[in-house]
Each structure stands twice: as structure tokens, then as C-alpha cells.
Amino acid sequence: MLNKLLCLAFFGTFSAYSQAPELAQFHPAKAPPAEKLLLKQGDRLAICGDSITEQKMYSRIVEDYLTMCVPELNITVRQYGWSGEKASGFLARLTNDCLRFNPTVATTCYGMNDHEYKPYEERIGQTYREKSTAIIEAFKANGVRVIQGSAGCVGKMPGWVKGANGSVNDLNLNLCELRNIGIELARTEKVGFADVFWPMLTAGVTAHEKYGTNFAISGGDGVHPNWAGHTVMAYAFLKAFGLSGDIGTFTVDLKNRKMKATDGHRVVSSGADGFELTSTRYPFCACIGATNCAASYPPCAGGDETRDNTIRSAMTLIPFNQELNRLVLVAKNGKSKNYRVSWGPAAAAPSETRTFSASQLERGINLAEEFPQNPFAAAFAKVDAAVAAKEAYETRQIKNIFHGAEGKADMETAAQKTEAERGPLALAMHEALVPVTHRIRIEPL
């Protein structure tokens, strides 16, 4: 039942949630969908938020996706996470830390500290509204397009927060109120909105049903998510950008053994041994082989669909692959009832194999979903490691240097010096983004 309700939520139908006891007290306003692609070619994206942003996990997923899945947009990214920050804190440093780098689009993710870890009070809502409005207007005054993001949800009372009171339900009701305020602001200010709270809360309920109550969508401390929660967050922001999710389509005529591919992919050869392609657009890889795993990205392992420290588990809770990660293989004019599909690097025999019916192939299968371990994983891992290194430096640049002794002594010199250090890290990320050659075999059974 909860899975059905979860699907309804993503289409903006909230009334059905009254049937779920865990969610009956919540009254989420309907979030406005992205009506078109917000991003523009060459955009400079600023990802702004508190310690959850400073974890550099959802920001890393977003940057990975923008870099590898839609490289034609040529988006550059900086993350501005700051532990313990409220909207008022970012407002105070917005000009010095963020606007100096001339962003063209920005996401915000505040509310967790703003809600003060207590039951909702009008004072809390009013302060959040005022500071969030000021952030939006400051960005707009500098020509920056904005995605107003909500905070996520709380999983348990955080013991490390002095003054926290009430119940977990009280805190989440408070966060839901701030989310609804964010929707009002998005409509009033005519900016985008990323609904982080409701997908996280509902995904957490579904996860408890599917995998047990030890699955912590909000992380072990109840506030800072692991990879599963951060994947839900990234999903919310990527959807708010209005991205189509079309990574590519490979259409095969089985009778004539010919393949056509959409932009970002080129058919190199067709023959009895399969179809060889070269791709500049990657599917999003939810996990990578242990030998390729770098900089803490989740490796592929047995049972990783059930644990809150993996991206794959989140993809069983939200329609990430269906809506954002479609690399589709369509095969027509086959004479057999079933086919074996193999996919792997062009230089080796494809090791990953799945069986599909002729009708499934004619409708189209999503390779990104069906083959979590795929020939893009090694290249994806290299780009991701470079993204992680760059984002780690951005925390040091802002927190340790801009707001440290060097910045206080001479901010402009500190900015120039750190940009010279950051430059090679950004370059390494783009140098790692190389075309991937791979082979698909479709054999009758």
C-alpha cells in the first residue's frame, strides 16, 4: 500500500497519505513542478546549505550527474556547505563567499537548523521566511536564478543538539511547515522549488516497510543522511532543474543487425559479435566495482539495495532511474521469443548478461537500471573522484581560508591564491571525462 501511496506523492497527490498512520498528521502543500529546463548552457551553479550540504554527498551526486549525464550543458559547480548554519548565516556571507564567483544559478537547502529542533512556533516560521526571502532577493538582484530547497526530515531526536525538545513527529511537523513556507516563497518570488522534505519522509516510511526500522533515511544521528538519504536529496534538486532524464536511446533492427543511436552516442560497428558504440554521455552509475571505487563512492556489493549507506537502495524508493537516468535499448523485428542481452567494455567479452522477452525489448529496457555494474563504471569512478577532491577543497577554501587568518588579513589575495589552487582540481575533473567505448550483444534464445 505504501509503495502505491509513494508513487502518488511524486505526482502531487497528497490526500491519499491520510491512510498511512505515520503520515496522517502532515499537511504538505502541493509542490510546484519544474515546467521547463531551468539550466542554461555554461551555467555556474552554487550549491548552498548547512552541514548536510557540507557532507558533500548530495552535492557530489548532483555535480556527477551534471558533469557526466548532461555534459553538453557544460555546467560548473561550487558547493558552499557550512556546518550549523541557518539561512541568516548564509545571508551574512553570501556576498563575500558566493557572489564573488558570479554564479548564474543557485540552490539553497536551509531549515534544519532554522527549525531549532523543537515544535513549530510562528516566530520560527517568520524568521525563516524573512531570511530566505532576503537570500532569494539578493541572488535575483545579481542576476542569479534560484531553486529554493526545503530541508529534509529528522529520523530521531539528535542528542548532540542542546535545547532540542518535543518528539520526532513534532520536529518533522515543524520542518513540514518550513517546507510549505518555502513553496509560498517560490511562488511569490517566481523561483524554482526543490521538495526535499516530503520525498525523504515518505521514502523513509517505505524503507521501514521494505527493509526494517534500522534503515535510517536521515542517517545514524537522525539528521545527517547517508548515501540513501543524499540520493533522495539529489533527486529533488535534479528534478527541480527540469532535466528530462533522457541519457540516450539505442534502436536495433534485429532482422538487419543495424543500430541507431541518439545524440551523445555513436555507433562504431554492427555485426555478428554485437554493436560497438562510443559515448560521451554517461548513465548515472549508482555503484562502481570495488576495484574502481575511489573517494568513498559506494561499491557494488551483494544486498546493497537494502542498506541506507548505498545509492542503489534509494533507487528502490524513488523513481530516480525512471525519471532521470534512462539509457534505453529498443530492439525490433526479432523472430525469437526471448533474447540474451550482454553489455560490457568493447575490448573484452561482455560479462554482464540479462534475459528479456522480445516484447520487453520492443518496448525498450533501461540499461542503466538493468545493469547497475556496466562498462561506464570505471570512467565514472575517475570523474567522481575528481569531483570529490574539488568539492573537498571548496570547503577548505571558504571555511579555512576565506574565514581564517589569510582571509581576514587580505581577502582578495586569499581569493586569488585559492582560485589558483582550485583551478587544477576543476581541470582534472573535466580531463577525466573521456568517451567510453562499449559493446552490446543481443542473442536469440
Per-residue pLDDT of the chain (445 residues; tens, 9 = 90+): 334 334 444 434 333 333 567 788 899 999 999 989 999 999 999 999 999 999 999 999 999 999 999 999 999 999 999 999 999 999 999 999 999 999 999 999 999 999 999 999 999 999 999 999 999 999 999 999 999 999 999 999 988 888 889 999 999 999 999 999 999 999 999 999 999 999 999 999 999 999 999 999 999 999 999 999 999 999 999 999 999 999 999 999 999 999 999 999 999 999 878 999 999 999 999 988 766 555 688 888 777 788 999 999 999 999 999 999 999 999 999 999 999 999 999 876 667 899 999 999 999 999 999 999 899 999 999 999 999 999 999 999 999 999 999 999 999 999 999 999 999 999 999 999 999 999 999 999 9
CA 234 to chain CA centroid, Å, is 2
pLDDT at 368: 97
Helix (H, G, I), strand (E, B) or coil at 409: helix
In the block, residue with C-alpha cell 536564478: 145
pTM: 0.94
pLDDT at 8: 40
CA 224 to chain CA centroid, Å, is 15
Report the distance separating Cα 383 and Cα 389, nearest Å.
Answer: 10
pLDDT at 300: 81
pLDDT at 392: 97
Length of the chain: 445
The set of cell numbers assigned to 30 is: 502541493
Q: Which DSSP state fits 383?
A: H
pLDDT at 160: 85
The set of cell numbers assigned to 69 is: 549525464
pLDDT at 12: 40
Strand-pairing partners, residue 277, are: 267, 438
Domains and CATH numbers, the chain: 33-240 (3.40.50.1110), 246-284+325-377+434-444 (2.60.40)
In the block, residue with C-alpha cell 543511436: 261
Strand-pairing partners, residue 44, are: 76
pLDDT at 10: 44
* Strand ranges (E), 316-445: 326-332, 338-345, 352-357, 365-366, 436-444
Question: Starting at the edge strand that comes first in sequence, how are the strands of the sheet with 338-345 ordered?
Answer: 265-271, 274-279, 436-444, 338-345, 352-357
Round to the nearest angstrom and report the end-to-end CA distance of the chain.
37
**141: burial class by Cβ within 10 Å (0-12, 13-18, 19+)?**
exposed
**If we measure between CA atoms, which residue out of 62, 38, 234, 70 comes closest to residue 147?**
38
Q: Which DSSP state fits 271?
A: E
Q: What are phi and psi of 139, to 5 degrees?
A: -65, -50
Amino acid identity for residue 22 in this structure: E
Amino acid identity for residue 236 in this structure: A
Q: How many CA atoms lie within 13 A of 66 on its CB side?
A: 31
